[in-house]
Amino acid sequence: MPGRIVGRCCPLFASVLFTLVLLVAPACTRTGASGAPIQFRPTAAPRAEQGPAQLVAPALTVLDQPPDRPLYTLNVTLDYDNGALHTQEKIEFRNPTGLAISEIKFNVPPARRAGAIDVRDARIFGQAQPLAFEVTSTVLSVKLPAPLPAGAGIALAFDYVLKIPLQEVITGIGGDDSSRGPHSLTAGHWYILIAPWENGDWYTPGYTPIGDNYVSEVADYEVNILAPEGIIIAGAGEESREGRLWRYSLPMARVFAFGASPVYQIDQIEQDGVTYIHYTYPEHRKFTEAVLYTAARAVALYSELYGPYPYRTLRIVETGRSQGQEYSGMIGIGTTLYDGYPGRGARHDLIATTAHEVAHQWWFHLVGNDQIRSPWLDESLARMSELQFYERHYPRDVDWWHQRYIGASRPRGSIDLPLSAYPDGRAYIIAVYQRGLLFLTDTRRRIGAQAFDAALRDYSQTMAYKMATPNNFFDALARHTTEDLTDLVNGYFASAIALPCRISDNAIGCRR
């Protein structure tokens, strides 16, 4: 049973003195007057790889002990009134390319808006000399002073100011996952992210106006956010707080996101070792119990079906948007989704969207995928999870759910196109969310619910913390059934899929 609701009253904000920041953040130091940015203080001199540093050019220094996966340290000073984040970012990582490289590329999603980000500095952490860099569209390229050997680790530091855009009015699904409205600010994929390395190049896909145009691999995050007095921060992961300084630790994550607001009302419940925390505007606090229990029941069901939820906290954060959004250890619920909820029952977008976004903790966060090339892989599965949530907890509402989210007529469109191939948001939703669900329910009917559930669990566990491809999904199915799925795949997919031989009746070209 869920635990009882615990209200957290508005935190008492003590003003933070400069010295307090030094005390609580030993790896950082803050300079200047109140409101000046938190800054790094080098704690260890990096090892020189190529002799003494030159007078003008920076030396290439490598890490003695590079982390197994990228470690991001983000020191953020939030200027809430102006929607500006001054960030000092350090990324420690290992050269992932298998080659000696002289250039490293990063994805910077907010840079798709001209002037949104002002990158002031890039350098090897601890070095006196900056590095040459350029920002072109949404890609930041940094030139190293000498080739970084394959497998060697490096720490790069960036200093930038980002202006979070005002909330767009859009129909459908897409747009920025970082935005600000009259009551809150949301920062999703807002920082400089190392680009994945694949097929001999950095993967820098750029912006598309529909869907989630982000691809990120698993990394660890340590985040310090200095907020103005009276601003509540809702960040993902383990939280600790000293006055205006909010600190978060989020390991093994696809993204670090946070919300900020002067009006957030905070409620939480605890269930099975997970704390669910809901941040909502005052007018929607009356729905907090429904949202929290929906999230807790969804996590319990999906943990049973797919494997355990990987964190001890899940934050559910109201945003100024009109859609839900998944992040690691956190989901965003757009403010319009609360409209008209009667306060009980599941026949409403608020409940369905909460169940859907929670499912992305498995299909996006745990099992990663290329959301730009294969958006169906997480979205169709998240919708399937939503259906499973209704089947388990609201069986009498399953028909309502089907009518509302899938519709009575058979939707059209190939489910497996990249984001850029769908002409508009409506076509994307019909193909990926509606028809994608039908592909999965047809598959379940064909192979049986038991084999289907076993395959989903297998897929989740096998591909945890990796980037899954459609082949990985079909391979998981083939480990639990020998039913021929050729006709279903031909009917729903545009691209030629080489199915495993076990589920294609040994078709020519099948994968063994």
Task: Report the interface residues with Zn ion, using CB under 5 A.
Answer: 379, 382
Residue 250: how many CB atoms within 10 A of its CB? 25
Residue 195 or 382 having the CB closest to Zn ion: 382
CB of 226 to Zn ion, least distance (A): 32
What sign does the dihedral 447-448-449-453 (CA atoms) show?
negative
Q: How many helices (H) and strands (E) in the chain?
A: 10, 29
When the beta carbons of 239 and 379 are compared against Zn ion, the nearer one is 379
Minimum Å gap between C-beta 364 and Zn ion is 8
Distance of closest approach, residue 382 Cβ to Zn ion, in angstroms: 4
Taking the complex as a whole, the smallest distance from the CB of residue 429 to Zn ion amounts, in Å, to: 10
CB of 356 to Zn ion, least distance (A): 6
Q: Considering just the CA atoms, what is the radius of gyration of the chain in Å?
A: 23
Q: How far is the CB of 209 from Zn ion (least distance, A)?
A: 17
Tell me how far, at minimum, the Cβ of 114 lies from Zn ion, in Å. Answer: 29
133, 122 Cβ separation under 8 angstroms: yes
The set of long-range contacts for 484-493, using a CB threshold of 8 Å and a minimum separation of 24, is 485/443, 485/446, 485/447, 488/439, 488/442, 488/443, 488/446, 492/414, 492/415, 492/416, 492/435, 492/436, 492/438, 492/439, 492/442, 493/414, 493/415, 493/416
DSSP 253-304: ES---EEEESS-EEEEEEETTEEEEEEE-GGGGGGHHHHHHHHHHHHHHHHH
Nearer to Zn ion, 267 or 379 (CB): 379
* SS3 of 451-506: HHHHHHHHHHHHCCCCEECHHHHHHHHHCCCCCCCHHHHHHHCCCCCCCEHHHCCC
**Long-range pairs for 400-404: beta carbons < 8 A, 24 or more residues apart:** 400/347, 401/352, 404/352
Q: Which is nearer to Zn ion, 151 or 172 (CB)?
A: 172
Query: Judged by CB, which is closer to Zn ion: 127, or 361?
Result: 361
Q: Which residue of the chain is nearest Zn ion when measured via CB?
A: 382
Angle in degrees, CA 101, 103, 105, rounded to 5 = 120
Closest CB to Zn ion among residues 177, 239 = 177
Q: Which is nearer to Zn ion, 217 or 379 (CB)?
A: 379
Q: Give the nearer residue to Zn ion in terms of CB position, either 256 or 433.
A: 433
CB of 423 to Zn ion, least distance (A): 20
